[in-house]
Amino acid sequence: MPHTETLRYAGYHPTVLGGRLSVFSESATRLEVRVWSAQDPQWLEHILPMERGTDDIWSVESEFLIPGTVYSVHADGPTGPRHAFDPDIALVDPYARGIIRTANGERRNVIVDNTFDWEGVAKPRIPMRDTVIYEAHIKGLTAAHPDIPHALRGTYAGLAHPAMIAYLKDLGVTSVELLPIHIFASEMRLTKQGLHNYWGYNTLNFFTPHPYYASESNLAAGPSAVLAEFKGMVKILHEAGLEVILDVVYNHTSEGGYQGEPVSFRGLDNANYYRQTEAGEYIDTTGCSNTLNTSVPAVHRLIVDSLRFWADECGVDGFRFDLMASLGRNEIHHFDPKHPLLQEILSDPILSETKLISEPWDTGMGGWQVGKFPAGYHEWNDHFRDRVRQFWLRDIAETRAWSVAPQGVADLSAALSGSTAIYGEKRTPLASVNFVTAHDGFTLADLVSYDVKHNKANGESNRDGTDNNTSFNFGDEGITQNEVVTLHRRRAMRSLLGTLFVSAGVPMLTAGDETGRTQNGNNNAYCHDSALTWLNWDLAGWQRAHLDSTKRLIQIRRENPALRGVTAARPSVRRTAEGAIEESTIEPFVGLMDWYTADGLPMALDDWHSSLVRTVQYLVGTPAVEDVQNRVLVVIHGLETSQDVVFPARDDVRGYTLLWDSSHAAEPEHREIAPGETLTMGPTSLSIYRVD
């Protein structure tokens, strides 16, 4: 590793003379590289004029351009509403792999030493059907971990520490999805409030790892050491059989609105890098003041080159693309699933072998594109999130209020069976990345503890963050001493996670949900780098029980291929009493998936439509190969009263053995049920049985 030579459109290339730097700018009239002293990056040593070449790539070759060189790029060009040239501003090279700050706050680029010994360690290449994603913040994951040395907490090396590796392996996840690690900057507004951007969705450069996630010694040693620490982390996780997925933000940059100070792209070629009107005002489809113009070939190339760098030279296994609808917008700013950038990522020989996960929306017109991305992309499925929350939380709240449930099991069953109405039969359920929570929004514990957000600490008078949480506090807002409310909350947490891990698709678990982490009702904690957002490793007894329950769920999914089926769902076709054929668009079937009522009878069309039907069973199995077949029965009851359930009586079933039950905080007692036998199921619960 790297397995192939990564070709770059621009950036640094070593040469016989020393090195060559290349930068894109169609609009500039003059570009130069200024070389600064490595000992004092405010001391100018050389000025190297650049020459325009093919495709408006400006280049300079010099003996001074070698690893360790500190430099800046300066650009001059026309004035006007779409330009922001200022030759006195030291600009960040879009292809830089190392960035430092001077004593007076200016940024400098550093040519890094890219050598690294992978010692033959290869990528795990875990099939998507077997993948369990663990979404985490690189700092928050280990910042308070007692078994990790203080010097490594909150760092790349901290994630690679044996204590963290052991935890992840024991939990059973396969792939760690890291919130942005590209170097980022805090917004001026946050800085003035004494806060800073913690999540990192404010990228400064797409090739440089965020230096402040490196250990102090490597940070002091410089950008080459920071990059090596990141690669070392990837190598160690790979040795443990764990994948690394990066959350990448190519839709906008940290340069803010069009009137802001140039830092990089704006100062090099504002007219081409950003979407804007002829009057120079930015067309913002991200809600972050600017949007990169991916209809420009150079911007398209930049993104592909960045992805190839991380996938090939840094060993990354996949990417989750933030607000990816913006990347697929064409020259008139409309989303196009056949956009050249989206297609090239899929066809690239390196990138096509990685996991490609889309957040399939943005904030622009026509921005919600769930199910619209080309085959080959996996998508965050907000339908799954909303339907599962609705069934276990808001439906219960409304049933309490009106003494009748607002809906039955149709929407939930669609989520359980792979959201085929969204993705179609050709893409299979693996197109869906299922989640109940993510970094953005309530934690799992807060989802069952708060009816409304509590974001005043963010400094925006509680205006930020979504108001559409689909949450339920079960009677008390926030912390409670009410044991009955607590019982309901913890059972709901288990039922939510149980649904996640028995559903067709790719499950994503948010770090800390396995231990009941809280953010005190803050559903937009992007600006808090503190114990509020870090994982708390000092667990109460109920948290350890919840952790064990989550581990067991992941183990059950791993040991039962039936729960990881990839056959697309099909609508069922039924014949009415009059003999007419009607097609149900509600009833889902996934492969060998059969659905039953609480009475153990096959679900009828009226059952799917009825809000009175809140109990459903489904039996899912793998195809029989040489008489070996794996089958699982899932029983779901969505009311706060007990329910008698008759287990399906089938000639091909000898019995049902209990594997997990959300009614219990601890491992349930051994239970075997005969076909046709009746069992009383506890309130609002989900149970999983092996079919014998």
Active site residues: 322, 359
Contact 327, 342 (CB under 8 A): yes
Burial call 390-417: b when 16+ CB within 10 Å, e when fewer: bbbbbbbbbbeeeeebebbbbbbbbbbb
Query: What's phi and psi for 12, nearest 5 deg?
Result: -100, 135
- Whole-angstrom CA distances from 434 to 337, 388, 420, 597 are 21, 10, 13, 25
Encoded tokens for 643: 């329910």
Encoded tokens for 232: 């070392």
Contact 497, 520 (CB under 8 A): no
**565 vs 623: CA distance, rounded Å:** 10
What is the three-class DSSP state of 108? strand
Contact 83, 271 (CB under 8 A): yes
Bridge partners for 101 per DSSP: 107
Q: Pick the closest to residue 416 from 635, 613, 601 (CA basis).
A: 635
CA 264 to chain centre: 27
Encoded tokens for 577: 């009493």
Bridge partners for 358 per DSSP: 321, 379
Residues in Cβ contact with 112 at an 8 Å cutoff, skipping those fewer than 6 apart:
67, 97, 98, 223, 224, 227
Residue 433 exposed, middle or buried by CB count within 10 Å (0-12, 13-18, 19+) = buried
Strands 643-646 and 615-621 come out as: unpaired
Q: With the C-alpha atoms ordered 51, 55, 61, 64, is the resulting torsion angle positive or negative?
A: positive
Q: Pick the closest to residue 412 from 121, 684, 36 (CA basis).
A: 684
CA 476 to chain centre: 31
Q: Pick the closest to residue 657 from 635, 621, 688 (CA basis).
A: 688
Contact 74, 34 (CB under 8 A): yes
**136 vs 177: CA distance, rounded Å:** 6
Contact 244, 310 (CB under 8 A): no
In the chain, what is the straight-line distance between the N-terminal and C-terminal CA atoms, in Å?
Answer: 45
Strands 133-136 and 592-596 come out as: unpaired
Residues in Cβ contact with 614 at an 8 Å cutoff, skipping those fewer than 6 apart:
395, 405, 408, 409, 637, 638, 639
Contact 583, 573 (CB under 8 A): yes
Contact 419, 505 (CB under 8 A): yes
Residues in the chain: 692
Rg (CA), the chain: 27
Query: What's phi and psi for 274, nearest 5 deg?
Result: -115, 145
- Whole-angstrom CA distances from 388 to 409, 602, 611 are 10, 23, 16
Encoded tokens for 178: 């890291």
